[in-house]
A and B are shown apart, each in its own frame.
Chain A
Amino acid sequence: MNVIDDNNLLMRKVNCKLDILSRPDGSVLLSQGDTVVIAGVYGPIEVKTQKMLINKASVETFYRPKSGTPGIGDRLYESIIQNICETSLVSALYPRSSIVVIIQEMQNYGGIISCAVNACCFALLNSGIDMKFLVASASCALDDKGVFHLDPDKLLSDKAKANFVFVFDNIAKRIIASHTSGSFNLAQYEEALELCKKACDAIFDFYKTKMKNEIANKV
């Protein structure tokens, strides 16, 4: 996917396969370069009495690392994805029920948060649960020379001075989430934001074409 004609600003190849699992209501395998995640969505389903909300569905997210039990780093991702799902879903339509989103990391070569958020949105689309808007995420890195790299892989982001992850909605293109590491100034932040916004536009287009094809195939 080429957003702007510049080698640094090339996104890694995005690929996806819908309905990869048979049990969940929606599932997707999404790869961005060598980073791969599987997302599954169940919902609306029965809810435990402790977690029941009388005016809306309770959203539960689980982020599973490639191996071992989830650590506190995974909890941070989990909470970000949970907050994104809660705002993008029309949970008021499903009171006293629960929507469960499970993200399984398969391979992490950088940009795992972006990949997980995009997979999550795909899986929600696939499940047919009502959403207020779509979400897309893109990441970029700022190296020591002050050059931006869109959608960096692990090597690039480890060496970078700063890393940025943004999540946008598809209606007003406003910021839903922002997560950064390293240090940078306001101008650099603005530039990173604009860059990721453009990349997200490309991802929204990708959602559209992919879903169109999928529906056409089914018909």
Chain B
Amino acid sequence: MAKQFKSLHPIKFYRDYLNQNVRPDGRLLSKFRPVIVNTGSIATADGSALVRIGKTTVICGIKAELAQPKAEKPKEGFLICNVDLPPLCSSKFRPGPPSDLAQVTTRFVADLILNSGCIHLRDLCILKEKLVWCLYADLICLDYDGCLIDACLLALLTALKTVKLPSVDYDVAIDKKVVNEDEKKSILIYNTPVSTTYAIFEDKIITDPTAEEEDLSSGLITIVVKEKELCSVHKPGGSPISEEKLYDCIQETIKRADLLNTLINTAISEQTH
């Protein structure tokens, strides 16, 4: 009976649950889903991570290539990150060029990484004006069940921390590059921005929503925190909310950031051992 009711009146079905302060998957309103972080799963990539938030799965592979720097920024390397939502991850997406959601998420994640200063592009310089590293970070969603940005950021940061770059000897005079793959070094990551997403459903705030909850909700809020500092409070439209509720979400996110940080660090230390 519940199944039929759900498909006929999805909003009412959901509201009935929320009035009892519980969600259809058994979580309380402010309860997070379990998070799993796995590193180094892709050997062909120079850094990689797989993240699961509940059922949402995102894999990040970083490939390092050699490039010439831009004339206006001769000392800076490149970090090119793209979010891909292939039709494989959900029936919402069709084959072809990236969907609007993929484009918006790509822009948001890329802006955030540059703004937060978690990586200094100058560290990627090999020789000024001549040779720099270009890191291609590809984030692919394998299972789309909400909180895409959270999973993407977590996967990207973990993958960046596992990147190992070989040493390069570059002889400018004869334009000869020799890459020594035996000497690999990590890159410096200065801080770790992590995010939490909330959904607004009528007058309630729901933490860490699933794809179903995101669809039913009337707005999303994503808050990004790095080391006790705020990095972004992103509410792209949707139902209006009061300041108090927004501040509650921010406090909640700051609390959770520590947990996510430990998770990333444990995953990385487990790989090195």
Contacts and interface: CB of A to CB of B under 8 A. Distances in A.
Classify A-B as touching or not with yes or no (CB < 8 A).
Answer: yes
A53 interface: no
A79 interface: yes
Interface string A64-104: 00000000110110111111111100000000000000000
Interface stretch (B2-10, B39-47, B231-239): B231-239
B226 A183 contact: yes
B34 interface: no
B230 interface: yes
A177 B115 contact: no
A176 B106 contact: no
Contacts of B219: 83, 87
A176 B240 contact: yes
A183 B104 contact: no
Contact of A177 (B104, B108, B116, B237): B237
Interface string B110-145: 010001110000000000000000000000000000
A83 B236 contact: yes
Contacts of B107: 72-73, 75-76
A85 B237 CA distance: 8
Contact of B238 (A72, A73, A76, A176): A176
Interface string A173-188: 0111111111111100
Interface string B218-258: 11010000101111111111111111001100110000000
Nearest to A117: B237
Contacts of B250: 186, 189
A193 interface: yes
A86 B240 CA distance: 12
A175 B245 CA distance: 10
A180 B242 CA distance: 18
B243 A84 contact: no
- Ordered nearest first, which 3 A-B pairs have the shortest CB separation? A83-B237, A174-B240, A84-B237
A169 interface: yes
Interface residues of B, number: 34
B212 interface: no
Interface in A132-188: 167-169, 172, 174-186
Given A177-B236, A178-B246, 18 more contacts: A75-B100, A76-B103, A80-B237, A83-B236, A87-B218, A168-B240, A172-B242, A174-B240, A176-B237, A178-B233, A179-B234, A179-B236, A180-B232, A183-B116, A183-B230, A186-B230, A186-B250, A193-B243
B108 A76 contact: yes
A40 B148 CA distance: 32
Contacts of A180: 230, 232-234
A190 interface: yes
Contacts of B229: 183-185
Given A73-B107, A76-B107, A83 B238 contact: yes
B230 A189 contact: yes
